[in-house]
A and B are shown apart, each in its own frame.
Chain A
Amino acid sequence: MPKTLVELKSGELARVVTIMGGKGATLRLAAHGIVPGVVIEKIGNLTGGPVVLKIGQTQVAIGRGLAGKVMVEDLTSEDNGK
Chain B
Amino acid sequence: MKRILLVGNPNVGKSVLFSKLTGVNVCVSNYPGTTVEYTHGFRLVEGGEIEIIDVPGIYSLEPCSKAEEVAACMLERADVVINVVDATNLERNLFLTTQLLETKIPIVVALNIWDETKHKGIDIDVDKLSAILGVPVIPTSARSGMGLDRLLASLKHAKVVGAKPLTTAERWQRIGEIVRSVQRISHRHHTFLERLQDASIHPIGGYLVALLVVGAAFGLVRLVGESIVNHVMDPLFQNLYMPLIARIDRALEAYPLLHDLVVGRRINDAIDFIQSFGVISTGLYVELVMVLPYVVAFYLVLGLLEDIGYLPRVAVLLDGFMHMLGLHGYSVVPTLLGLGCNVPALLATRILESKRERFIVATMISIAVPCTALQAMVFGLLGPFGMRYVAAVYVVLFGVWVVLGLIMRLFTKGFIPALLMEIPPYRAPYLTTLVMKFRIRTLGFLKEALPVVLIGIAVINFIYSLGIIDNIARFTSPVITRILGLPDEAVVAIVVGFLRKDVGVGMLAPLNLSVKQLIVGCSTLAMFFPCIATFTLLFKELGLVDTLKAIAIMVVTALIVGGLVNLLL
Contact = CB atoms under 8 A, between A and B. Distances in A.
B418 A27 contact: no
B537 interface: no
A62 B197 CA distance: 17
A32 B418 contact: no
A61 B60 contact: no
A61 B317 CA distance: 10
B89 interface: yes
Q: Which has the most chain B C-beta neighbours within 10 Å: A33, A55, A61?
A: A61
B450 interface: no
Nearest to B60: A31
Given A47-B203, A61-B419, A32 B316 contact: no
Interface stretch (B211-219, B236-244, B420-428): B420-428
Interface in A34-54: 35-38, 43-50, 52
A62 B319 CA distance: 10
Nearest to A24: B64
Contacts of B420: 28-29, 32, 60-63, 66
Interface string B163-176: 00000110011000
Contacts of B201: 43-44, 46, 52, 59, 61
A65 B322 CA distance: 13
Contact of B89 (A29, A50, A58, A61): A58
A81 interface: no
Contacts, number: 128
Nearest to B122: A57
A61 B421 contact: yes
Contact of A46 (B179, B198, B319): B319
A75 interface: no
A63 B312 CA distance: 13
Given A32-B422, A36-B169, A64 B320 contact: yes
Interface in B311-359: 312, 315-321, 323, 328-329
B59 interface: yes
Q: Which has the most chain B C-beta neighbours within 10 Å: A25, A29, A48?
A: A48
B216 to A, nearest CB: 22
B316 A30 contact: no
Contact of A49 (B59, B312, B316, B423): B316
Contacts of B319: 46, 49-50, 61, 63-64
A57 to B, nearest CB: 4
B92 A55 contact: yes
Interface size, B (range): 35 or more
B92 A46 contact: no
B172 A27 contact: no
B419 A50 contact: yes
B423 A47 contact: no
A45 B198 contact: no
Contacts of B416: 65
A59 B422 contact: yes
Contacts of A58: 89, 92, 422-423
A32 B62 CA distance: 12
Contacts of A24: 64
Given A30-B168, A37-B169, A59 B423 contact: yes
B206 interface: yes
B205 to A, nearest CB: 10
Nearest to A50: B319
B282 interface: no
B234 interface: no
Interface in B178-213: 179, 197-198, 201-203, 206
B64 A31 contact: yes
A16 to B, nearest CB: 10
A9 to B, nearest CB: 13
Nearest to B204: A47
Nearest to B423: A59
B320 A46 contact: yes
Interface of A: 24-33, 35-38, 43-50, 52, 55-67
28 contacts: A27-B62, A30-B95, A31-B59, A31-B64, A33-B91, A37-B169, A38-B172, A43-B201, A46-B317, A48-B321, A48-B323, A50-B320, A52-B423, A56-B89, A56-B90, A57-B91, A59-B197, A59-B423, A61-B201, A61-B316, A61-B329, A62-B420, A63-B319, A63-B328, A63-B420, A64-B323, A65-B418, A66-B418
